Structure 1
């Protein structure tokens, strides 16, 4: 428990959140590269959340080093949590599309994977994978569903870190 508490103190949680985001992106790219699972437009949208979160966190930590105020770090942790909530929404929307509960967005009806090594006529329409077909399910959840669960856990941890920082779990030499 002390290990978890120490991760949520000071500037450690933004680094952990950024690392977990990079690992989620690495896993997605591994499924694509080694597993042959071409991403649909909603899969790519889920990745955009993690890329944005990494960019925002790097920028926030650089600014925090320039202006080391506790309230700035609290705001950064809250923004990280909000970014993860966006990830939850996108992931669960994708899972809802896969289950047939929600309509797929325009351009998600796909007719097969794109082969980047095949040179095609640019006047022909591009075929993208369908957003409605999950490649597999684990414990009833697709990859999009699990992405939503993981992003939800990370959002809660971000808000807990913001609360711990707000209560003063940062460097004692700082003033609010």
Structure 2
């Protein structure tokens, strides 16, 4: 049972990562900085999942859960940036121009990245990709924890 849960959690991260690449390359929606950050923990979860399937060690499902929770946290943070609940990294969100001179403003515009973290390029049921990633990743974390609990109970 734990191997099945690990397989599903690993496949879930792979599916989310493939979906992100699909939106990027097939849907022509380049990712912002926070979108990229959400991908790294999924990559780690895939590696952890493959290792856990090859060598069943108690620590690996917990590490998989940690990776899933990390990407869920980044996704939740990104959702807040998109909805204007808080500011995102200065390098990928728009901010007040206040007292900037025309030259400073032009320099800021020219050095700004092409994709802003506070724009929502796609949504479904009023939830952005970052929101869906957070929700799906929380579900994956539950699968990882269930696998770890099963391993612990069966002393695998």
| Superposition TM-score tier, normalisation by shorter sequence | 0.7 to 0.9
Confirm or deny: 8 A CA contact 2:5 2:146 kept in the other structure. no
Deviations 1:135-176 (A, max 9, x none): 1322221110000000001111211121122111xxxxxx66
The equivalent residue for 1:55 is 47
Matched, 1:80 2:72: no
**In 2 relative to 1, CA 152–10 (structure 1 residues): closer, same or farther, beyond 3 Å?**
closer
Residues matched between the structures, number: 141
**Partners of 2:45 and 2:143 in 1: CA distance:** 15
**Partners of 1:78 and 1:105 in 2: CA distance:** 29
SS of corresponding position for 1:83: helix
Matched, 1:33 2:25: yes
SS of corresponding position for 1:105: coil
Matched, 1:145 2:145: no
**Partners of 1:133 and 1:109 in 2: CA distance:** 8
Confirm or deny: 8 A CA contact 2:92 2:113 kept in the other structure. no
**Partners of 2:149 and 2:34 in 1: CA distance:** 32
The equivalent residue for 2:5 is 13
Structure 2 residues not aligned, in runs of 5+ = 95-109
Alpha-carbon offset, residue 20 of structure 1: 1.5
Residue correspondence of structure 1 range 20-169 to structure 2 within 5 A = 20-62=12-54, 64=55, 72=57, 74-109=58-93, 125=111, 127-168=113-154
Structure 1 residues not aligned, in runs of 5+ = 1-8, 111-123, 169-174
SS of corresponding position for 1:164: helix
The equivalent residue for 1:4 is none
Alpha-carbon offset, residue 60 of structure 1: 4.1
